[in-house]
Amino acid sequence: MRGSHFFTAGLLENQLPIYTPRLSVALGNSKYYEVSGFKSSLAKKIKMTILMLNKKESKELRLLKFLILILSLSLVSCVKSPAVNQNSSIASVPCQIDSGSSLTEATEDGLFIAHKSKSPLQIDGCNSDTIWSDVDWYAMNYLWMGDAVDSADYYGRFKLAWDSQYLYILVEVTDENLNPTLKDGLENYWKGDYVEVFVDEDKSGGNHQFNHQAFAYHVSTEGHAIDKNTLQETVFFDDHIEVARSQEGSKYFWEMAIKLFDQQFDENASTNTPVNISTQKSIGFSMAYGDNDGNSSRENFMGSKKTHGNNNDDGYINSDVFGSIVFIE
Ligand SMILES: [Ca+2]
Ligand SMILES: [Ca+2]
Ligand SMILES: [Ca+2]
Ligand SMILES: [Ca+2]
């Protein structure tokens, strides 16, 4: 059943996102495949069909099961949430990036300035957009968790820009071992590698763990923007962030366009209107990188501000600890 494995995995990576139940599907005698992204009613139907078929085993029946699975998957690909970003899987592509002679500034209090771009950016992981050569870097090397690292293990910095629709971020991370964020399953989303973007649109501060007055987007190597919903589930907010990544040796460039949503954001609504960005607007904001080098754990957590609350790990709960961005022309 090797063919079906690749088929299923391909769909998982590219087409089946979003916060709906997961389904374990048995194919043959021993293989199990976890499939996410189903509407619950459809998931039950598929599971029942396959349970029935499991009672008898023959080559023909296994083939039939496989065909049913393919048919089911092609059907459910039509019921994806409209909020899904189709570019949910990203590869590290080569890109002729010149990191340039820009300065890198570290600010202990995490207060940043973003300059306005005169034209929309191309989110391709490359820094060929004019604005990126016009602005300097900010450092994200404050050690929040783990032991001190050398610059081959981790070094990170980022640039900021904006227009009325998006906050743009270009992140440069040196990491000798890029580990797939969701390799060990969705609930390991915070164990790395990932870029964390903390956003509090109205700078209100306060608890945001299971509400949407602020977000802690865990931007995964697969291109998902992951946080908790109001039901305390781990879900994708892929419509909030478009991300592309390029690679130059052990240096990775993550380019993002982020929509800002205010506390009215309704995860159950089919559409939500992002907030327009204008000059002098200020938001709560921090950046971090969770570095996992293959030990199934977040070995280091490095941030853009000297401290980030209790154990420097309050950002995913409390937006009081965020730094900020002021948007200027
Ligand atoms: Ca670009
Ligand atoms: Ca590393
Ligand atoms: Ca808020
Ligand atoms: Ca790593």
Whole-number Å distance, alpha carbon 207 to ligand 3 midpoint, is 9
The mean pLDDT value for 67-79 works out to 40
Q: Which CATH number fits domain 104-328: 3.50.50.60, 3.30.70.260, 2.60.40.1190, 3.40.50.2300?
A: 2.60.40.1190
Q: What percent of the chain has pLDDT over 70?
A: 71
How much is the mean pLDDT over the chain? 80
Whole-number Å distance, alpha carbon 215 to ligand 2 midpoint, is 25
Instruction: Give the distance, in angstroms, between the CA of residue 171 and the centroid of all CA atoms in the same chain.
Output: 13
Whole-number Å distance, alpha carbon 96 to ligand 2 midpoint, is 22
Whole-number Å distance, alpha carbon 290 to ligand 2 midpoint, is 9
For ligand 4, an ion, list residues with CB under 5 A: 175, 177, 179, 193, 291, 293
Whole-number Å distance, alpha carbon 114 to ligand 1 midpoint, is 16
Q: Ligand nearest 261 Cα, by number?
A: 3
Domain segments of the chain as ranges: 1-83, 104-328
Q: Which residues pair with 156 in a beta bridge?
A: 173
**Cα-Cα end-to-end distance for the chain:** 57
**d(Cα 159, Cα 138) in Å, to the nearest integer?**
6
**d(Cα 78, Cα 275) in Å, to the nearest integer?**
29
Whole-number Å distance, alpha carbon 150 to ligand 4 midpoint, is 13
Q: Ligand nearest 117 Cα, by number?
A: 1
Whole-number Å distance, alpha carbon 72 to ligand 4 midpoint, is 36
Backbone angles phi, psi at 326, to 5 degrees: -110, 130
In a 3-state reduction of DSSP, which class is residue 101? Answer: coil
Whole-number Å distance, alpha carbon 175 to ligand 2 midpoint, is 4
State the pLDDT at residue 100: 66
State the pLDDT at residue 95: 75
Q: Ligand nearest 123 Cα, by number?
A: 1
pTM, entire model: 0.74
In a 3-state reduction of DSSP, which class is residue 88? Answer: coil
Lowest mean pLDDT among 89-103, 237-251, 252-266: 89-103
The residue ranking higher by pLDDT, 225 or 45, is 225
**d(Cα 41, Cα 52) in Å, to the nearest integer?**
17
Whole-number Å distance, alpha carbon 161 to ligand 2 midpoint, is 27
DSSP-derived secondary structure letter, 97: -
pLDDT in tens, 154-192: 999 999 999 999 999 999 999 999 999 999 999 999 998
Q: Ligand nearest 151 Cα, by number?
A: 2
